[in-house]
Amino acid sequence: MNVVAAIAVDGTIYAAWLFVMSVGLSLIYGVMRILNIAHGSLYALGAYAGASLVIAYVNHGYPPYLSYLVLFGAALLVGLIAGPLIERGVLRWAYGRDEIVLLLVTYSVFLILEDVTKLIWGVNAYNASQPYALLGRVSVAGLVYSVYDFMVVGFAVLVGAILWWVFNRTHAGRLILAVIHDQEVSLAMGINVPRMYLAAFTGGAALAALGGALTAPMISVVPGISVEVIVLAFAVVVVGGLGSLEGAALGALIVGLARSASVHLLPQIELFVIYGVMALVLVLRPQGLFGRAEVRRI
């Protein structure tokens, strides 16, 4: 019983983190049909920006509870700077080429950002654990968790709700939804598709950075954190269906629970299980659980 509860709690926490970290990838793919490998670097940029700003903030002795806002601001800053820079500066020159060429373009951007991150922040670890420790600890089902972990869950729900609201209840969101469904018809109906591209990429970049900023207090921010994230994010998004908000949420939940189950029951296969789930879903339902089947080719 205890194990089941632990799996559920761990899985939910992990799923929440997965969702925040990967939803931006899905958004960008949905609108632009670009699988953004640089997503991992944007995540790392967010983590570095968040960690270094929080450290500076705390060292100044400002009220610690506002450090969460600092994290948020750091992510927004990264998204608003890096997003338009990459989209306008690099990606748009390759529009109209094969999806796979765009994949290679974002891979180049990933390589560039890897070194840019190192040049800005060096190779030393950044530990900004103040926001993590601030809220104290709580015991659930006999296991001790940091309250921050549960804050991440709440935050993921909030992000999901806001995104759902934007897409389904606002004018701009509906325009983006239209572009996701059919780009050519949207263009014919007078939607400014290039502007939607810019908006979607900036939004996706900010979400990636937010994932990083949110993670920064939980880990020691070191070079290399970007690499794991991109594969993980892709697995999550593919399980749910690329370009679908509900899919990203469900994918995060499935992958999160599967991983925490394996951690508790059979730790040897932990790394294997995530990709195993992904491969299984691709075999059974190639478009993902929420994806729309395409007429030909997947």
Partner 1 sequence: MAGRATVVTGVVTVALAIAGAWLPTWALFLLTVALGKGLAVLGLVFLMRAGLVSFGQGLYYAAGAYTVGFLSDRVGIHDIFVAITAAAIVAVALAALVGLLMVQYREIFFAMLSLAFSMILYGLLVKNEAFGSTDGINVAPPAFAGMTLGLPGLRIALYLVVIAICVVVVYAAHRYVLSPLGYLAHAIKDGEVRVEYLGASVRRAVYAKYLVAAGLAGVSGALVSLAVGHIDPEMAYWTTSGEFVFVAVLGGTGGVLAPLLASVVFEVGRSFASAYSPYTWQLTLGVVMLLVILFLPRGLWSLLEVRGLARQR
What residue ranges bind partner 1 (CB under 8 A)?
Answer: 35, 90, 93-94, 98-101, 103-105, 107-116, 118-119, 227, 231, 234-235, 238, 268, 270-272, 275-276, 278-279, 282-283, 286, 296-298
Q: State the nearest-atom distance from the C-beta of 215 to partner 1, in Å.
A: 20
- For the record, the structure tokens of 227 come out as 């690499």
Write the CA distances from 59 to 52, 56, 130, 212, 234, integer angstroms: 11, 5, 11, 21, 37
For the chain, what is the total number of helices (H) and then of strands (E)? 12, 2
Looking at the Cβ atoms of 36 and 146, the one nearer to partner 1 is 36
Q: State the nearest-atom distance from the C-beta of 197 to partner 1, in Å.
A: 18
Q: Kindly tell me the burial class for residue 217, based on how many C-beta atoms sit within 10 Å of its own C-beta (0-12, 13-18, 19 or more).
A: buried
Q: State the nearest-atom distance from the C-beta of 244 to partner 1, in Å.
A: 15
Looking at the Cβ atoms of 59 and 268, the one nearer to partner 1 is 268
Q: State the nearest-atom distance from the C-beta of 126 to partner 1, in Å.
A: 18
Looking at the Cβ atoms of 142 and 267, the one nearer to partner 1 is 267
**Pair 270, 259: CB distance under 8 Å:** yes
CA dihedral 92, 240, 170, 90 (to 10 degrees): -10
Rounded CA gap, 106 and 285, in Å? Answer: 26
Looking at the Cβ atoms of 159 and 233, the one nearer to partner 1 is 233
